[in-house]
């Protein structure tokens, strides 16, 4: 019995993606939208790396597993969206892209980041939500991205956040929800421009008093901290509202509560988030 040629399905996919690329080339469109096209490999995108005029590339909701280093050839790229693929690692070359301002690699299968990843010269927004990252998998220069305004690390596996987070002086949004954090570093209090802090769904019991330095309760600010096993005084204040929590952690009473809690060296609360069924943990299908 004659089998259909193996290449027929990829060719259909390739022609769909190739059509979008050809049209963009024809009209010199700097924005290329290839979202949800069933793309499993950059080989299905012939000529992409020669399109040096591109400023925005959207490849979200595909089936990509590998990002080739050649993607960094797109030296005018400002926005790269790889959200919801099956990517397990990123090439080091990405961090050399001179104009990249927004990088979204949320909902992939990243278990680590490449060495030197923090070298992006102008990156402002980095979305790493819903991967398999923790404090041991961040490269040494990760927190040297001084241009960063928003960092999304929600739905990963962090138990601790490195103290170097305090170096991100321009950071305005920090999302750490749904990790396994057992404490926050006092250096978060150095992030003078921070206006949004999302720490809900962790294993936090206390906040460092230095967080009281921040403006997280004005009209344009956001502080989300529910679903943590807070010590009773914080839990009581949280029932009234986050502004009451912020007022409380600025008091001398709280500083005493905090220092006693830390010196008692208690065991951290147990993990309550079962992450074994996360999509990011799924085995790659052969």
Give the pLDDT confidence of 147-171 residue by residue, as tens digits.
Answer: 999 999 999 999 999 999 999 999 9
Give the integer Cα–Cα distance in Å for 172 and 221: 10
- Identify the architecture of domain 16-231 in CATH: Alpha-Beta Horseshoe (3.80)
Is the Cα torsion angle 50, 52, 53, 56 positive or negative in sign?
positive
Calculate mean pLDDT across residues 235-262.
97
Confidence of residue 271 (pLDDT cuts 50, 70, 90): confident
Residues linked to residue 126 through DSSP beta bridges, in sequence order? 103, 151
Q: Which helix (H) or strand (E) holds 24?
A: helix 8-27
Residue reference for tokens 């080091």? 92
Span 61-79, pLDDT tens digits: 999 999 999 999 999 999 9
Stretch 51-69: mean pLDDT? 97
- The arrangement of strands across the sheet holding 79-81 comes to 31-33, 56-58, 79-81, 102-104, 125-127, 150-152, 173-175, 196-198, 222-224
- Give Cα 89 to chain centroid, integer Å: 14
């Amino acid at each position: 019995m004659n089998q259909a040629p193996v290449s027929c399905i990829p060719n259909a996919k390739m022609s769909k993606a190739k059509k979008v690329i050809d049209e963009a080339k024809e009209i010199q469109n700097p924005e290329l939208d290839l979202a949800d096209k069933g793309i499993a490999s950059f080989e299905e995108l012939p000529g992409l790396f020669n399109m040096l005029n591109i400023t925005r590339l959207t490849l979200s909701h595909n089936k990509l597993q590998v990002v080739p280093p050649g993607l960094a050839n797109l030296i005018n790229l400002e926005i790269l969206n790889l959200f919801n693929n099956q990517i397990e690692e990123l090439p080091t070359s990405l961090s050399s892209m001179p104009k990249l301002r927004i990088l979204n690699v949320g909902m992939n299968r990243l278990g680590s980041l490449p060495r030197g990843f923090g070298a992006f010269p102008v990156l402002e927004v980095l979305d790493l939500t819903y991967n398999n990252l923790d404090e041991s998998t961040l490269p040494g220069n990760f927190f040297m991205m001084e241009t960063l305004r928003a960092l999304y690390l929600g739905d990963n596996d962090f138990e601790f956040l490195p103290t170097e987070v305090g170096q991100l002086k321009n950071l305005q949004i920090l999302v750490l929800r749904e990790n396994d954090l057992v404490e926050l570093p006092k250096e978060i209090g150095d992030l003078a421009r921070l206006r949004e802090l999302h720490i809900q769904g962790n294993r936090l019991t206390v906040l460092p008093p230095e967080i009281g330095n921040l403006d997280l309760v004005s009209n344009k600010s956001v502080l989300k901290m529910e679903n943590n096993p807070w010590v009773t005084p914080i839990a009581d204040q949280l029932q009234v509202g986050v502004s009451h929590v912020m007022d409380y952690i600025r008091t001398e009473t709280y500083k005493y509560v905090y220092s006693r809690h830390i010196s008692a060296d208690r065991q951290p609360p147990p993990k309550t988030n079962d992450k074994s069924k996360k999509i990011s943990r799924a085995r790659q299908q052969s």
